């Protein structure tokens, strides 16, 4: 078959204008002509991660949780929004408190709200029982933080604040666990609103402000080694307890 020169030139031009083929990286196809290497997949660090069914939700459906949400208008003269079927002080904290903290990672708002309020109620009624069960609470807290859900993280941080604030020696006992708990806080620390000298009524709803309050509380109650461990996990954190400069000499304080 005879091909004219014009047809041959047209064929060569068409070959040059072919679309690039996307090929996987680190393969022989990447060495071929008219190819482009497929870029690596994007990592969405703020994307919410799927959450499995929590133990708290499973036990609550079976009726094994001795607490329920109090209906408005019932139980006049009682305080709190959690209705206990027994005295919370008589519960086994080593068994029930990790289950309530595990419920903080639930995506159901009602279940998570009940778990948060019940956990804070247990902490406030018997603060001296928190320290022995503290190692069992690290994994439930870590699971709640790893969901990357801002509402879940805020709920878990509020429970953590209550533990550190009222529990004796809990702040110092948490220092070895900073590497497991504060990794996610480094991502959301700067997500806040700068109002200058104004007062923010929604401070407790903004994750950046809640993280800042939590870190300040951990440093205050964590003893002399708290700041350096927080700084290791969150390099942008500045001490809120000790002054940066010595007012007398103007040199950096040790």
pLDDT digits (tens, 9 = 90+) for 69-91: 876 655 544 455 888 988 888 89
CATH no. for residue 152?
Answer: 1.25.40
Domain of residue 133 covers 55-71+81-192+203-233
The residue that leads in pLDDT, 71 or 238, is: 238
How many structural domains does the chain have? 1
Reported as a pLDDT band with limits 50, 70 and 90, residue 4 is confident
Q: Is residue 243 part of a domain?
A: no
137-147 pLDDT per residue, tens: 999 999 999 99
Q: Please, where are the H alpha helices in the chain?
A: 5-16, 55-62, 93-102, 109-125, 130-145, 150-166, 170-173, 178-181, 185-188, 207-221, 226-233
Work out the mean pLDDT of the chain and round it to a whole number: 83
- The answer, yes or no, to whether residue 132 has pLDDT greater than 50, is yes
Q: Is residue 221 part of a domain?
A: yes
**Cα dihedral 155, 144, 119, 241 in deg (nearest 10):** -60
- φ, ψ for residue 83, nearest 5 deg: -100, 115
**Could you please report the per-residue DSSP string of 118-163?**
HHHHHHHH-GGGHHHHHHHHHHHHHHHHTT--HHHHHHHHHHHHHH
**161 and 126 Cβ atoms separated by less than 8 Å:** no
Q: Is residue 249 part of a domain?
A: no
pTM value?
0.77
In this predicted structure, what is the pLDDT of residue 33? 82
Reported as a pLDDT band with limits 50, 70 and 90, residue 253 is very low
In this predicted structure, what is the pLDDT of residue 216? 92
- The full 3-state SS of 68-80, as one line of letters, equals EECCCCCCCCCCC
């Amino acid at each position: 078959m005879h091909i004219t020169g014009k047809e041959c030139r047209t064929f060569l031009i068409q070959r040059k204008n072919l679309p690039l083929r996307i090929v996987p990286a680190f393969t022989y196809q990447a060495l071929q002509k008219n190819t482009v290497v497929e870029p690596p997949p994007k990592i969405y660090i703020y994307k919410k991660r799927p959450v499995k069914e929590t133990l708290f939700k499973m036990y609550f459906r079976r009726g094994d949780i001795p607490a329920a949400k109090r209906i408005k208008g019932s139980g006049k003269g009682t305080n709190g929004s959690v209705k206990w079927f027994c005295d919370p002080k008589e519960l086994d904290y080593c068994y029930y408190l990790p289950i309530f903290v595990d419920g903080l990672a639930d995506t159901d708002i009602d279940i998570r709200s009940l778990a948060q309020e019940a956990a804070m109620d247990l902490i406030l009624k018997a603060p001296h029982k928190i320290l022995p069960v503290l190692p069992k609470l690290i994994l439930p807290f870590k699971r709640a933080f790893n969901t990357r859900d801002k509402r879940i993280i805020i709920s878990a941080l509020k429970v953590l604040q209550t533990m550190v604030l009222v529990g004796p020696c809990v702040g110092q006992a948490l220092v070895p666990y900073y590497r497991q708990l504060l990794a996610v806080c480094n991502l959301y620390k700067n997500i806040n609103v700068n109002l200058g000298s104004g007062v923010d009524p929604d401070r407790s709803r903004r994750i950046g402000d809640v993280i800042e309050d939590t870190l300040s509380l951990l440093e205050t109650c964590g003893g002399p080694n708290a700041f350096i461990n927080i700084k290791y996990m969150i390099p942008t954190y500045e001490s809120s307890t000790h002054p940066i400069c010595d007012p007398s000499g103007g040199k950096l304080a040790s």
